[in-house]
Amino acid sequence: MDHPDNQPGTAASAASAASAASAGTSTITLAGGCFWCTEAVFDRVRGVTDVQSGYSNGHAQNPTYEQVCTGHTGHAEVVRLQFDDAVISLREILEIFFATHDPSQLNRQGNDVGTQYRSGIYYETEAQGELARQMLKEMAAEGIYDAPITTEVAPLSNWSAAEPYHDDYYARNPNQGYCAAVVGPKVAKFRKTFVRFLKDA
């Protein structure tokens, strides 16, 4: 995932990025490859009230995009979602997540290769983790994928928001090369498959 036409911004700290969830709102952090793709999908999901790109579950504090891209910080590119439990459930969120990336690819999505592109579900409550693990068992039993599912399920750690230029990247740059070739088709697949969850449906 290249962005030669952009200049890096300033990474926000975890403290400034985090906000208290309101009543009836839950938060889950997902890694599904390039966060431009994952953000673009969940921006369109009914009941999702906030989507923030960032980095998590690495060993460094507040890394930059360039540092994460080296693979040396251990972070995944993630999106942190806030969603209204009365409108959409976590199971439905995860169904969309699994359908819009390939969880059987280890440390990559398509041509994006590296541990930062791994598949991951990073939870904030044990109940969320239990549901994620149960869904992985169900998917494995159904034999949906030819290869083993590689999705990491772990408590959220070392979260920090990405640089501001990543925010709404696809919405602002739909004709950029990567967006047109990779993000656009993924969004189109989501819109076709999950019509009932579209905000504009």
Q: Which residues are catalytic?
A: 34
| CA atoms of 161 and 150, how far apart (whole Å) | 24
**Torsion angle in degrees (nearest 10) through CA of 131, 137, 141, 143:** 90
Could you give the 3-state DSSP secondary structure of residue 168? coil
Beta-bridge partner residues of 50: 82
Residues 191 and 44: beta-carbon distance below 8 Å: yes
**Per this entry, what is the length of the chain?**
201
Interatomic CA distance for residues 56 and 64, integer angstroms: 12
Dihedral (C-alpha) 69, 150, 100, 155: value to the nearest 10 degrees?
A: -70
Alpha helices in 11-168 (DSSP H): 14-17, 35-42, 65-69, 90-99, 126-142
What burial class does residue 18 get, using C-beta atoms within 10 Å of its C-beta: 0-12 exposed, 13-18 middle, 19+ buried? middle
